[in-house]
Structure 1
């Protein structure tokens, strides 16, 4: 009996020590809302939608103290649709994030796995689609990926420590094709500053064979690069005609300044789909585009913390195509977010988009708000009322 008690005491002491040196946290977000779309394929649509302000998710985040200031870290994060319980990100079990690595408070963190690129990390939080406007308020088609539509597989990533408000980082993804080192390669760099009332960010992203490496990064994606390959870029008419591009390149920058209860912000991005018509695969260039499609995007935004519980927001975004593309998109957004507690809030948002010119399908541009099917006209309106709970 005494031996048993001594063994239990020793086990308890060991467990306590292990608990002090490592931790695992379960966390998540459940976000659901009612959506009105004034024109989806010519008809009004009323629907329930999951993951609007933030994608619905659950995840595990862990650290282990290895001594000498060194820690092991990991994240496994699953996305899901709260309306039907299905997996998000094309059915991937941990489609939002999945990585493991080492971290020090002095030098930063190195991780390996499925991760976010530097545009998302350093400029994404500065656009209103990642704040109060829901993902419907992201830039048209989320063509610059500021709203994190696409993750990066097979990635090695470095994120610096915080040096008096400055951070920087980079990511490299191996293509994994024998004899073709550059095929499906992705790399990005970014830098940010966040201290006091000022926040700044800049990011660069370079994607080879984006139809397969970036837009085709889920289990259900078509990854065949032969003549039987098909498009993974059909989600938006803003860019669907450029699936045969050899390279996607994004340069982004953003800033926000807070004075009192108000915050004024702005973002800029330049996105290019280069060498359109060179990527192989059946139907990738069904619209007959050749050359480089380019987009300027500029957003100005404003938010006001009317009370500690009530946030109001307004923004305008302008997208201008050039190169082999001359479509223009004007987008206006209004929103409000009311916090019942630190973990639960109600939100209301509205998005209006107007399109001009000729889009990637080489026909008259129609409005195509991010995440919605195209309108049949140059105008489209979306409105959403929802609730978000964090745990």
Structure 2
């Protein structure tokens, strides 16, 4: 019996040594709150205020597994599996996918960078979004540019993606993605992107470009089971989407101020996803002249190590085609208090006003149940986040 126990113990020690250079981490974030909003549309001409229990008002609730195995010579095998969910009802996010936020595996080199394959973020999300208010913990989901038209809030992930991410070259990093259509129609429902960022002293510059193709005639990209690059979590029903932008942030002491510009041009556009517009039938778009331009200024300030203030203003100039040219003014304000390194509470207020020729299209704050029945919409959220 003693010999058996000794052999078992030695076997465990050997197994531990063999896997000493490997690691798997369970991580996650839960964002839950209560949101008040006014003017939520109940008909074409009327709206009511609403109180809602909300999940992911700032950061989408998620849990994931992240792992690495040291292969020697500065080379590692890496993987990430990340699930999105609604904390209020336990439902899966991203159209019911088990690992809808991210799912990839690849190789990472200390000298040459990383190549990964799977469902992944594009370069706009990787490089430009961190300079914006919506792409950070200081504004997040509800502070997205109208309909998240530039994907800075990561509404769309891409399937079948090969991604390259460089190492840090004295503050300069770059990368790109290619997302396969997985079809004999090679160019249909594919996507590609490139981006770069540069840090020098307190300055951070970034630029990125994303292009996506879809066959809107067969509408297959509506389905989460479709094999293409976009499947079920699209923002626009359009044959082509090109998004590009650039930004700069400057950090001085406890404050960071920034500016981000982005533009999305659509070809053969027919509509905005109902899940993005918050209305039963979505919003109609008309042809090849559809365009969104976003001009965002943002600032955040750490009053103490635990208490921070943040705000952003975005002017969005849009053209839906057919003579419909709405302009959006969006303001997001947040105060956040850290109870610990892992838990914080926040108060966030968001306001959006639509003007110009809006053709009865109301404002829409991302993540709410419906658009506004008037030219203005306000939402106030009290929430908490816990990280693990």
TM-score by length of 1: 0.88
Number of positions where the alignment pairs a residue of Structure 1 with one of Structure 2: 369
**Matches of 2:50 and 2:120, distance apart in 1:** 34
Contact preservation (8 Å) 1:152, 1:214? no
Structure 2 residue aligned with 1:238: none
**Matches of 2:118 and 2:328, distance apart in 1:** 35
Report the alpha carbon displacement of residue 6 of structure 1 after superposing the two structures with TM: 5.2
Distance change in 2, residues 1:366/1:44 (3 Å) = same
Structure 1 residue aligned with 2:114: 109
Contact preservation (8 Å) 2:188, 2:215? no
1:340 aligns with 2:362: no
Structure 1 residue aligned with 2:290: 293
Summarize the alignment of residues 19-98 of structure 1 with structure 2, pairs less than 5 Å apart. 19-41=19-41, 42-98=47-103
Report the alpha carbon displacement of residue 269 of structure 1 after superposing the two structures with TM: 0.2
Unaligned runs of 5+ in 2: 42-46, 272-280
Secondary structure at 1:246 match in 2: strand
Once the two structures are superposed, residues 51-72 of structure 1 have per-residue CA deviations (whole angstroms, 9 ceiling, x without a partner) of 1221111100000111121110
Structure 2 residue aligned with 1:153: 159
Report the alpha carbon displacement of residue 251 of structure 1 after superposing the two structures with TM: 0.4
Contact preservation (8 Å) 1:124, 1:147? yes
**Matches of 2:77 and 2:306, distance apart in 1:** 37
1:331 aligns with 2:336: no
Once the two structures are superposed, residues 237-272 of structure 1 have per-residue CA deviations (whole angstroms, 9 ceiling, x without a partner) of xxxxx62x2101100111110111111111000101
Report the alpha carbon displacement of residue 288 of structure 1 after superposing the two structures with TM: 7.1
Distance change in 2, residues 1:48/1:114 (3 Å) = same
1:380 aligns with 2:377: yes
Report the alpha carbon displacement of residue 216 of structure 1 after superposing the two structures with TM: 4.2
1:250 aligns with 2:249: no
**Matches of 2:378 and 2:98, distance apart in 1:** 33
**Matches of 2:232 and 2:28, distance apart in 1:** 32
Could you list the runs of 4 or more consecutive aligned residues of structure 1 that deviate by over 4 angstroms after TM superposition?
A: 210-218, 220-223, 230-233, 284-288
**Matches of 2:92 and 2:232, distance apart in 1:** 22
Bigger mean CA deviation after superposition, 364-373 or 311-320? 364-373
Contact preservation (8 Å) 1:222, 1:232? no
Structure 2 residue aligned with 1:239: none
Report the alpha carbon displacement of residue 13 of structure 1 after superposing the two structures with TM: 3.0
**Matches of 1:168 and 1:214, distance apart in 2:** 34
**Matches of 2:209 and 2:220, distance apart in 1:** 17
1:366 aligns with 2:362: yes
Contact preservation (8 Å) 1:337, 1:347? yes
Contact preservation (8 Å) 2:270, 2:285? yes
- Of 252, 257, 269, the match for 1:259: 252
Contact preservation (8 Å) 2:334, 2:347? yes
Report the alpha carbon displacement of residue 7 of structure 1 after superposing the two structures with TM: 2.8
Contact preservation (8 Å) 2:224, 2:233? no
Once the two structures are superposed, residues 351-379 of structure 1 have per-residue CA deviations (whole angstroms, 9 ceiling, x without a partner) of 111112345xxx33311112221111111
Secondary structure at 2:86 match in 1: coil
**Matches of 2:345 and 2:218, distance apart in 1:** 36
Once the two structures are superposed, residues 120-161 of structure 1 have per-residue CA deviations (whole angstroms, 9 ceiling, x without a partner) of 000111111233123111111100000101100010001011
Report the alpha carbon displacement of residue 287 of structure 1 after superposing the two structures with TM: 4.5
Unaligned runs of 5+ in 1: 236-241, 279-283
> RMSD of the TM alignment (CA)?
2.8
